[in-house]
Amino acid sequence: MNTGKTIFSQIMEFLPLYEFRKCVERYQGDYKIKSFSCLDQFLCMAFAQLTYRESLRDIESCLRFMQPRLYHMGFRGQISRNTLSNANNQRDWHIYADLAQVLIHRARKLYLKEPFGVELEQTVYALDATTIDLCLSLFPWARFRKSKAAVKLHTLLDLRGNIPAFIEITDGKVADVNILDMLIPETGSFYIMDRGYLDFARLYVLHQDLAFFVTRAKSNIQCQRLYSRPVDKTTGLRCDQTILLTGVQSIRDYPEQIRLVRFFDSETNSRFRFLTNNFSLDALTITQLYKCRWKIELFFKWIKQHLRIKAFFGTSENAVKTQIWIAISIYVLVAIIKKELKLKQSLYTILQILSVTIFEKTHILQALMETNLIDDNTENDNQLKLFKL
């Protein structure tokens, strides 16, 4: 890697340009475009994400100030806020969604052996959604409530490396549980979900596809105990039962046996009921798997704090989805850089360093390694109690 290149250029060298051009061709992103290509658009938006720009004017001013270096950073088109705004509104957002999937596929291979807190060979996913609030007068297409607009970011997070394996962006009215219909279950994998995804018909589809689920049971669940296994109550476990659902609708939706694990958290004085279709793992491991679901909450908190997905540069649906998908691409790209360069810093620290060295002409590894910054590591900040929701 040429150390005469800027840090930004070296970051973009990790971008699979061949795959990116295939994504552009797939949706004819550069059709009849003469100056400002999809790559120029992506580079502008990537710069905004890495340096925390606040507006299109902000992006334009910063890049025009560095005009002599832009060509060597990969920019070929003239930077203008109007041009960038039109590109965000008109270029198909699927281009950047497909690019994000390419990067995700690459990142998951790198983090395949990454530990996540539970010793388990199978892949473990956490499924959840976060709401991004919008102004109804500016984003009328994203109506959520009578006087409020929002979009939902539905995410299936691979807990090995905290890499999103599946993402769907919808308006705020779409129920979380509907996303289960879009998933293609992986045989042998675990899907960790909260009570918002408790739909026995959909859970039975996971079961028939030989995938495992762990979720919370509602307090009014109607069931019949078939038999119980012994548990060590000093660990917080209260029972480990095999049950059969007895509700009129639930027994139709899930006609087979299911496992119920009860747990008491002495620190919060709270009781929990977990449902799973896995009968081979011990009961305490089931509770530990559900505890790992908190990582997806930390993921949502992290990207909202450190990426530009709460304030948008455009108001159209296409512009909003383009910005979100490019933000996700940058998150995954930085995760790839962290793994390939074998960096020990957190993603937060890496992003902070990159944001202030983006135009420096030094080797990226030197910039990231020779730093005395304190790693605040916001990924581990004041996590809530074990099972407190």
Please give the distance of CA 83 from its chain centroid, rounded to a whole number: 29
Give backbone dihedrals phi and psi of 360, rounded to 5 degrees, phi first. -75, 145
CA atoms of 367 and 350, how far apart (whole Å):
10
Within 10 Å of residue 241's Cβ, how many Cβ atoms? Answer: 18
258-311 residue pLDDT tens: 999 999 988 888 899 999 999 999 999 999 999 999 999 999 998 988 888 888
Written as one letter, the residue type at 223 is: C
Check residue 172 and give left, alpha or beta (phi > 0: left; psi -120 to 50: alpha): alpha
The H or E element spanning position 311 is none
**pLDDT score for 76:** 80
CA atoms of 16 and 2, how far apart (whole Å):
18
**CATH match of 194-292 with 3.30.1370:** yes
- The parts of the chain modelled with pLDDT lower than 50 are 1, 373-376, 378, 381, 384, 388-389
Nearest to 237 by CA among 77, 386, 37, 25: 386
CA atoms of 9 and 7, how far apart (whole Å):
5
The H or E element spanning position 301 is helix 294-306
CA atoms of 65 and 331, how far apart (whole Å):
26
CA atoms of 180 and 193, how far apart (whole Å):
10
Could you list the beta-strand ranges (E) of the chain. Answer: 124-134, 143-145, 148-158, 163-171, 190-192, 212-216, 223-229, 237-245, 258-265, 270-276
β-pairing verdict for 163-171 and 148-158: antiparallel
Residues 113/131, Cβ–Cβ less than 8 Å: no
| CA–CA distances in Å: residue 38 to residues 14, 46, 57, 197 | 17, 12, 19, 37
Nearest to 253 by CA among 181, 203, 195, 194: 203
Q: What is the dihedral of CA 178, 182, 187, 191, to 10 degrees?
A: -40
CA atoms of 247 and 232, how far apart (whole Å):
30
321-380 residue pLDDT tens: 999 999 999 999 999 999 999 998 888 899 889 988 888 888 888 888 755 544 445 455
Please tell me whether residue 160 adopts helix, strand or coil conformation. Answer: coil
Q: Kindly provide the b/e burial profile for residues 190-204, where b requires at least 16 CB atoms within 10 angstroms of the residue's own CB.
A: bbbbbeebbbbebbb
**pLDDT score for 373:** 47
**pLDDT score for 374:** 47
Break the chain into its structural domains and give their ranges. Answer: 7-97+315-380, 194-292
β-pairing verdict for 190-192 and 148-158: unpaired
Give this prediction's pTM: 0.89
